[in-house]
Structure formats: C-alpha cells, structure tokens
C-alpha cells in the first residue's frame, strides 16, 4: 500500500515538474488579442443587461449567461509574451514538487487510508467492550458512531470466522439499530443457514420484514412467527409481532385475539396496558363496522335477488277492433293485483308514451306500498288499462285487458291483450 502511494506521488511530481523543465518557447502575438476579447466580453455583458431589463430573459438565465461569459473569457485569454529563464523554471519545478508532496502527505494522513486504519484498529481494540455494553447492557448504550465501529469489528471478525452464529446475530441487530435493513437480512440469513430453528433470530428477522412492509415480507414474517409459536406458544414477542401483522392486514379477529393475549399477560400498571386496551377497542369498532356493512350488502343482495325472482315480463297488445277507440292523450297502466287480497296493486308501471305492441316488466321494485310487493303473494291477476284521466281507477269508456288467475312463482312472461271496453 505504501509502495503504491509512493509511486503515485512520484508520478504526480513528474507531471508538475516536467513542464517547467522543458525548453522555453516564446509566444508573440501580432495584435492585442486580449483587448479585443475583453471588449467583446463587456459588449456581451451590456446585451445581457439590456435583455434582462426588457424582460426577454429572467434573472436566473442572466446570471447563468454571465458566468458562462466569464469562463469563456478566462479560457481564451493568452499571454502576449511568455519567456522565463531556465533558473526560474527549476525554482518553480522544485517548489511545486515540494508543495505537492507535502500536501499529499497531509491529505492522506487526515482523510485517507491512514484515518481508516486508525478507525479499524480502534474498533478491533474496543470490540469486547462494545459487546458487553450491547449484549450484557453494561454501562451506557452505544452511540451511533460506536454502533458503526461495532459493526466494522464484527465484519472483520466474521471475515476470519464465518460460522460464528453469535457474531452474525449481533451484526444483524446492530444493522437494525443503524437502519441498515439489507445488512440485517443478510446477517440473519447466515444464522438461519447454520441454525434454522434459532428462535431469537426468527423473531428479529420478522421485525425487519415487518418494517419493510410489503405483503410478501409480511407473509414470510408470519410464517417465521408461527414456527416460533409452535415451539413456544407463550412467546410474547412473537405474539405481539403477529398482532401487528394482523392489524396491518385488517385481519381484525386475529389482531383482537393476539392483543387480548398480550393484555392478559400485563399488569394494569404497565405503561403499555392502556395503549393495547385502546387498540382492542378500536379493533372492536372496526369489526362492528364491517359486520354492519356486510349486513347491508347482504340485505341489498337479497332484495336484488327478490326483484329478479319476482320479475314478470309482460307483452301488451291492443285488439284491432279497438284501434279507433284509443283516447288522444291516454295513459297506459300495467299492474298486478293479488287474486285474493287487498285491492291495492302490488306493482304498477305507468306510461304516457307508448305504441302497441309494447313490453314492460313488473317486479318488487314497482311496488306502491312498502311490504306489499309482487313476491309477497302466490296468486296474481295482471291488468292493462288505457286511462283517459291518468287515474289508475277504472272509468266508463276506458279500454282494458285482464289475465286469468296466475301462479306468480311460475309466471315469468305473459302476453296480455287489451280487448274490453269498460261500460
């Protein structure tokens, strides 16, 4: 490493020194090019200021253009005459080389591998102390910098001994504390390859998967927790994580059951008791709301089924001999009544614009009175009447047609002929 550093430094010195040690060249210009470039620069500045004043460009574009002009001017400016003595060249070469070496050494010491090596040595020296504070909870909790150093030390240890379950588990938990979830998953995967039934790792791994939050990972976490509870049904850590997964999935019954187990395991003085009790109350409200919604949906489905079951398709036609008896502005009523029951129609369709033949449908949705529907009776009579006064009650001179007594459940379609003149 140090040899590489020395070679790179020599290369940089050569790059700096050689241009100064090369043979001098005189550059002469036949005209004052710099003056012309500067004049063009000021002219363009004036044009940009005028564009800004007249709102042809905005302030941001103006500032960006000025910076570009300055950059271009600096690149294009040339010395009118450059000539240095060999002695001066050597002074510049030596001075520049010495400065480069000194600067490189300082920079490397401050920010380079030297600092990284120091951090690594410090992490390895303090690894046992970090382990005691993290695992045995001795002394102050580890700070973020100490956690990062602890992770560095553990990775170094695992490079030397890759089958250390404890080190992999510690690295996974440290990674969780640092929000390095990919590293945590990789570490826990290593442990489970060595020991698939490691319950503490299964629980910690489930936490990481739950934090990620995707459905796939929650399903995987639930599987791990189920494995833990199979061996230890009273494991409260596993139960609490399953409760959270069920809650996130809106599986209210499972969430309620899991939270109730947690609540029963706590003393009422526990700071978490009130929070879990409140969560259970919230879940019960969600269950009640879902049940109400299901009942409403079920009722609606039943109503729709009843409408479809009771529906009768009626084709109404007019007897030819009554064509000239049609009123100028008549209203067509098509309705069903109970064969034996109240005179009130069970279902009614009213039409003012019609021509024969015409097809209509009667169902429970056409009921005039709530509860008195087509599906509520077994035997019905269908009637079609052309009213003169838009009233459903019969009047003299109106045209009408009636069916025989029909079995409602067996009647899905019917041809009804208007063939009577009401006396």
- Residue 306 is encoded by which pair of tokens? 């009843």
How far is Cα 372 from Cα 388, in angstroms, rounded to an integer?
Answer: 27
Asked whether residue 165 falls in the same domain as residue 265, the answer is yes
- By the 8 A CB rule, do 298 and 357 touch? no
Residues listed for the chain: 423
Of 61, 86, 111, the domain-final residue: 111
Does the residue 225 lie in any domain? yes
For 151-182, what is each residue's pLDDT tens digit? 777 777 777 776 778 888 888 888 888 888 88
Does the residue 173 lie in any domain? yes
Q: How many domains is the chain built from?
A: 3
- Most confident by average pLDDT, 135-139, 183-187, 292-296, 317-321: 317-321
Asked whether residue 61 falls in the same domain as residue 107, the answer is yes
pLDDT of residue 23: 47
Greater model confidence, 163 or 247: 247
How large is the average pLDDT for residues 243-255?
A: 88
Asked whether residue 128 falls in the same domain as residue 186, the answer is yes
Entry pTM: 0.43
Asked whether residue 41 falls in the same domain as residue 156, the answer is no
In the predicted structure, residue 101 carries a pLDDT above the cut 80: no
Judge if the upstream peptide bond of residue 357 is cis by omega within 30 degrees of 0. Answer: yes
pLDDT of residue 405: 93
46 beta partners: none
For 114-146, what is each residue's pLDDT tens digit? 444 454 445 454 555 555 555 555 556 666 677
How far is Cα 190 from Cα 163, in angstroms, rounded to an integer?
Answer: 8
Asked whether residue 415 falls in the same domain as residue 319, the answer is yes
The alpha carbon dihedral of 136, 141, 208, 119 has a sign of negative
> Which residue's structure tokens are 């103006």?
62
pLDDT of residue 141: 66
Does the residue 295 lie in any domain? no
- pLDDT range class, residue 211, cuts 50, 70, 90: confident
How far is Cα 330 from Cα 385, in angstroms, rounded to an integer?
Answer: 10
Asked whether residue 274 falls in the same domain as residue 151, the answer is yes
Does the residue 297 lie in any domain? no
pLDDT of residue 359: 94
Asked whether residue 42 falls in the same domain as residue 150, the answer is no
Asked whether residue 96 falls in the same domain as residue 141, the answer is no
How far is Cα 253 from Cα 157, in angstroms, rounded to an integer?
Answer: 46
Asked whether residue 264 falls in the same domain as residue 152, the answer is yes
- pLDDT range class, residue 418, cuts 50, 70, 90: very high
Of 93, 111, 129, the domain-final residue: 111
Does the residue 299 lie in any domain? no
For 392, the domain range is 311-421
334 beta partners: 349, 384
> Which residue pairs, CB below 8 angstroms and at least 24 apart, start in 193-199?
194/163, 194/165, 194/168, 195/165, 197/227, 197/231, 198/165, 198/169, 199/228, 199/231, 199/232, 199/235
CATH code where residue 276 lies: 1.25.40.10
Integer angstrom CA distances of residue 235 from 222, 231, 379: 14, 9, 65
pLDDT of residue 24: 45
In the predicted structure, residue 356 carries a pLDDT above the cut 90: yes
In the predicted structure, residue 340 carries a pLDDT above the cut 60: yes
Does the residue 156 lie in any domain? yes
Of 73, 88, 111, the domain-final residue: 111
Closest by CA position to 194, among listed 226, 213, 172: 172
How large is the average pLDDT for residues 275-304?
A: 79
pLDDT of residue 382: 95
> Which residue's structure tokens are 């039943």?
302
Does the residue 98 lie in any domain? yes
Q: Tell me which of 10-14, 197-201, 397-401 is least confident.
A: 10-14
Asked whether residue 103 falls in the same domain as residue 144, the answer is no
Does the residue 300 lie in any domain? no
**DSSP 8-state code for residue 235:** -
How far is Cα 165 from Cα 158, in angstroms, rounded to an integer?
Answer: 10
For 299-313, what is each residue's pLDDT tens digit? 655 555 555 557 899
In this prediction, what percent of the chain has a pLDDT beyond 90?
Answer: 16
Asked whether residue 100 falls in the same domain as residue 144, the answer is no
pLDDT of residue 162: 67
- By the 8 A CB rule, do 239 and 206 touch? no
pLDDT of residue 420: 92
Which stretch of DSSP H or E encloses residue 164? none
Asked whether residue 105 falls in the same domain as residue 125, the answer is no
How far is Cα 149 from Cα 166, in angstroms, rounded to an integer?
Answer: 17
């Amino acid at each position: 490493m140090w040899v590489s550093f020395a070679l790179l430094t020599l290369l940089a010195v050569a790059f700096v020194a050689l241009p100064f040690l090369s043979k001098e060249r005189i550059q002469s210009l036949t005209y004052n090019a710099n003056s012309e470039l500067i004049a063009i620069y000021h002219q363009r500045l004036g044009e940009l200021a005028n564009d800004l004043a007249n709102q042809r460009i905005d302030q941001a574009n103006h500032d960006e253009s000025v910076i570009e002009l300055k950059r271009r001017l600096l690149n294009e400016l040339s010395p009118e005459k450059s000539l240095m003595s060999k002695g001066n060249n050597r002074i510049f070469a030596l001075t520049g080389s010495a400065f480069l070496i000194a600067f490189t050494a300082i920079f490397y010491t401050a920010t380079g591998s030297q600092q990284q090596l120091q951090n690594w040595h410090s992490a390895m020296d303090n690894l046992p102390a970090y382990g005691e504070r993290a695992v045995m909870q001795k002394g102050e909790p580890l700070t973020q910098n100490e956690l990062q150093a602890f992770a560095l030390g553990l990775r170094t240890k695992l490079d030397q001994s890759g089958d250390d379950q404890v080190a992999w588990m510690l690295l996974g938990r440290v990674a969780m504390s640092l929000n390095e979830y990919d590293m945590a998953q990789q570490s826990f995967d290593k442990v489970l390859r060595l020991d698939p039934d490691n319950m503490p790792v299964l629980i910690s791994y489930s936490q990481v998967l739950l934090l990620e939050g995707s459905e796939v990972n929650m399903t995987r976490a639930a599987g791990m927790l189920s494995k833990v509870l199979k061996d230890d049904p009273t494991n409260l850590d596993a139960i609490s994580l399953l409760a959270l997964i069920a809650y996130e999935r809106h599986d209210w019954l499972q969430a309620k059951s899991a939270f109730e187990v947690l609540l029963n395991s706590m003393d009422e003085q526990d700071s978490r008791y009130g929070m879990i009790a409140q969560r259970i109350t919230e879940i019960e409200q969600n269950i009640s709301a879902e049940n109400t919604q299901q009942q409403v949906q079920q009722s609606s489905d039943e109503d729709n089924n009843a409408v479809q079951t009771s529906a009768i398709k009626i084709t109404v036609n007019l007897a030819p001999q009554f064509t000239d008896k049609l009123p100028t502005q008549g209203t067509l009523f098509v309705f069903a009544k109970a064969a034996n029951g109240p005179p009130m129609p069970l279902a009614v369709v009213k039409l003012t614009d019609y021509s024969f033949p015409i097809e209509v449908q009667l169902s429970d949705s056409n009921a005039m009175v709530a509860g008195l529907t087509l599906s509520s009776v077994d035997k019905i009579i269908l009637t079609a009447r052309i009213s003169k006064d838009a009233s459903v009650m019969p009047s003299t001179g109106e045209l009408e047609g009636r069916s025989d007594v029909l079995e409602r459940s067996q009647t899905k379609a019917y041809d009804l002929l208007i063939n009577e003149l009401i006396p």
